[in-house]
Every structure is written in structure tokens, then in C-alpha cells.
Amino acid sequence: MRRVFAFAMAFIAAVSLSIGTSAQNLGGNPEAAKVKNPVAATPESLSAGKALFMKNCRFCHGEDAKGDGPMAPKDSHPANLVDDKWDRGSTDGEIFAVIRNGAGPKFDMKPQKALSDQDIWNIINYLRSIGPQRKR
């Protein structure tokens, strides 16, 4: 069982590295779009994702994820994460890349390197649960 877990963690790390280390710009990321979410959207994942979103994301994106958070940087426009149009790509892999690497070109959204891969996938599952369904 430990080998399976170790393999799964190594796979997730490899996938994360394959997504790239540069900021996600408008138009999406074809390489990141190929990455599939390895974390099932279980009640536990959704609960963890919501808690992580409230702790790390709501200040800019707002409690309802509509991009109207009270602490967004001046003159920035955080993305509405529950609408039907995401300018930086809408697959789970592209969303992962935005969270992990930040959003360019001005980096109003900073890279979230402190979050684990599991944390990011849980946040993505949570966002999927409150917004329109898209390509996974």
C-alpha cells in the first residue's frame, strides 16, 4: 500500500512539474489543459477545498468566488470563478496552473507555492461544485 501511495504522490508531483512554472496568461495553456485532476470530488475533497478557499482565496475572489473580495490589490480585477467564462483556461489542469504559478502578465494573482498539489486539486473540486461544470 505504501508503494501505491508513493507512486501516486510521485505521479502528482511529475504532473505538477509538467504543467510548467510560468504564469498563466490569457488564452489558456495547451500543455496544462492535458492534465487531468487526480483527486475525486468526494464530500471530503469538497469540504477541504472550501476551507482552503476561505483561508487562501476569498480575500480577493470573495466568499462567493465572484471576484469581489475586499482585499484585492488596488486596480486589480480578480476573476469571477463561478461564471461561465474563464480567460486563462477552464480545464482542471489550466486552473491548477493558474493557482500554482499565478496569473500573468502583471502577476496580480501571486503563485501559491505554499499550497500542496492535493490542496489545489481540492480547491478546484470545490470551485467546480459552486460554478458551472466545465471540461475536467
The residue that leads in pLDDT, 100 or 23, is 100
Considering the domain boundaries, does residue 90 fall inside one? yes
Would you say residue 3 has pLDDT above 60?
Answer: no
| Count of domains forming the chain | 1
Q: Is residue 84 scored above 70 in pLDDT?
A: yes
Q: Is residue 101 part of a domain?
A: yes
Q: Which CATH number goes with the domain that contains 88?
A: 1.10.760.10
What's the CA gap between 29 and 34, in Å, rounded? 9
Is 53 a member of any domain? yes
Q: What is the span of the domain harbouring residue 92?
A: 2-130
Mean pLDDT of 10-32: 57
User: Which of 15, 17, 19, 18 is closest to 29 using CA atoms?
Assistant: 19
Is 136 inside a domain boundary? no
In DSSP notation, 95-135 reads HHHHHHH-BTTT-SBPP-TTS-HHHHHHHHHHHHHHS----
| Predicted TM-score of the model (pTM) | 0.78
Q: Which of 130, 110, 133 is nearest to 56 (CA)?
A: 110
Residue 135 lies in a domain: no
Which residue type is seen at 40? A
Check whether 16 has a pLDDT greater than 70: no
Looking at every residue in the chain, the average pLDDT score rounds to 82
In a domain, residue 82? The reply is yes
Q: Is residue 76 part of a domain?
A: yes
Can you give the pLDDT at residue 48? 98
Q: What is the pLDDT of residues 22-68, one digit of tens each?
A: 555 566 788 999 999 999 999 999 999 999 999 999 999 999 999 99
* More confidently predicted of 80 and 133: 80
